[in-house]
Amino acid sequence: MRLFEGTPFDRPPKCDECGQLEADCQCPLPTKVYKDPASQSARVYLEKRKRGKFVTIVNQLSSDETDLKALLSKLKETCGAGGTLKDEVIEIQGDQLERIQQTLREIGYRVR
């Protein structure tokens, strides 16, 4: 007799959706649902870095509510500038304040 035989611990894990063993499950991964940008406020400001260079910071957005990676890509493309995502803070190279504020408003965010 196996350890745990006849108890819930004996069962191989099964998918809740299709009932297949997890190894056989073909269900798509659940897609993450993000919140409406209109319910979110972003703070956008400039920060001065070494040698007098500026970066434009977008923060106060949550990765649970916004696809920050997709937003970073869009801002980089719009500004034609490099950028990074650190924790939940987007940094875009250069003084892009007005362009970023405008882009965020076009998407629907509230911007401060």
Tokens of 107: 């998407």
The answer to whether 17 contacts Zn ion (rule: CB under 5 A) is: yes
Residue 27 lies near Zn ion (rule: CB under 5 A)? yes
Longest CA–CA span in the chain (Å) reads 73
With binding defined as CB under 5 A, does residue 21 bind Zn ion?
no
CA 55 to chain centre: 20
Sign, CA torsion 34/38/39/45: positive
CA distance 81 to 72: 11
25 binds Zn ion (CB under 5 A): yes
Number of residues that bind Zn ion (CB under 5 A): 5
Q: Which of 4, 10, 18, 45 binds Zn ion (CB under 5 A)?
A: 18
Residues 61-100 that bind Zn ion (CB under 5 A): none
Binding site for Zn ion (CB under 5 A): 15, 17-18, 25, 27
